Amino acid sequence: MRHHLTHLRAMDLLMAFLSVISVVLVTARWWGHQTLAPQTLQLFYDVDSLICYFFLGHFAYGWIRAPDRMAFFKANWFYLPGSLPMVEQLRWARLIQLWRIYQLLRDQPDLLAMFRRERNETTLSGILFLFFLLLGVGSGVMYWVESGQPGSQIQTPYDAFWWTLVTLSTVGYGDLVPKTEEGRFVASLLILFGVGLFGAISGFMASLFLQPGRGDAELEKWRHHQSAQQDLLLQELRALRAEVKALKQK
C-alpha cells in the first residue's frame, strides 16, 4: 500500500491473490451452508479470518512506515472494511482492490523490470505466495486421498489443514500421519517443499542483514538514472532513424 497506487508492485499481486481466496471462501460458505459439513464451513471461516489478519497487518505496516500517516489513511481507508475478520458481509469490499490491480495490469507493466527493481519485496511475496498455495492445495489433496480410508487419521478438513501446516513448517509433531500410499506420496512432496521454503526464508532474512535494501532517496536516484538512460536511448534511435531515412532518399 502507498499514498497513491500509481504503479504495480509485487506485494499488490500477493494481496490480489489473497483477496480472490477470501472472496471464494465467503462464497463457498454462503452457497454451501446446506451442503457442506459444519467443520468445513468453520474451517473456511477460520482461514478467511487469518487472511483478514494478514490484510490488517499489511495495512498497519504501511501506515507505520508512511511519512504522512493521515494522507496514507485517506488514500487507503477503503481496504479496511474488507479486512475486518468478524464481518463477512463486508468481505466483498476486497473486489475494490482487485479492480485497481486489474487497471494496473491492463496498462501492461514491465513485470520483469518490477521484479528486478524490488527484489526484497518480490522475494518475500514469492515465498508467501508459494506457502499459501501449498497450504491450500496440500490440505485439499490430503483430505481427498485420506478421508474415508480405513485406519486413516486424517478424516476432517481441519485434520488435513493442521497436518499440512505442521508439515510445511518442518515442525512435524507426528500426531497425524497419512496411511495410504497416495497420502504418503503427497506428504513426501510437501516435506521437500517445506524444507525448501524454510531455506528460502532463512536466506531472505540473512540478505536483509547483509545487504540492506535501498532507501527512498537512493531508489529515487536510481529511477531518475534509469529514466535518463531511456531518454538517451530514444534520442539515439531517433537520430539513427533520421540517418536511415536520409540514406534512402539518396
- Is 115 among the domain residues? no
Report long-range pairs for 174-183 (Cβ below 8 Å, ≥24 apart): 177/153, 178/142, 178/145, 178/146, 178/152, 178/153, 178/154, 179/146, 179/149, 179/151, 179/152, 179/153, 180/145, 180/146, 180/149, 180/152, 182/145, 183/142, 183/145, 183/146, 183/149, 183/152, 183/154
In degrees rounded to 5, what are phi and psi of residue 170? 65, 20
- For residue 55, the enclosing domain spans 1-108
Whole-model pTM: value is 0.69
- Is 165 among the domain residues? yes
Same domain membership, residue 83 and residue 65:
yes
Q: How far, in Å, CA of 153 to CA of 66, rounded?
A: 48
Same domain membership, residue 222 and residue 182:
no
- One digit per residue, the tens of pLDDT, for the chain of length 250 reads 444 444 667 777 888 888 888 888 888 888 877 788 888 888 888 888 888 888 888 888 888 878 888 888 887 787 787 787 767 677 777 777 777 777 777 776 667 777 777 777 788 888 888 888 888 888 889 988 888 888 888 888 888 999 998 888 878 787 888 888 888 998 898 888 888 888 887 777 776 666 555 445 555 666 666 677 777 777 777 777 777 777 767 6
State the CATH number of the domain containing residue 189: 1.10.287.70
- Is 113 among the domain residues? no
- Is 194 among the domain residues? yes
Q: How far, in Å, CA of 87 to CA of 97, rounded?
A: 18
State the CATH number of the domain containing residue 13: 1.20.120
Same domain membership, residue 137 and residue 195:
yes
Same domain membership, residue 2 and residue 93:
yes
Same domain membership, residue 219 and residue 162:
no
- Is 114 among the domain residues? no
Tally of domains in the chain: 3
Torsion of CA 1, 123, 209, 6, to 10 degrees: -30
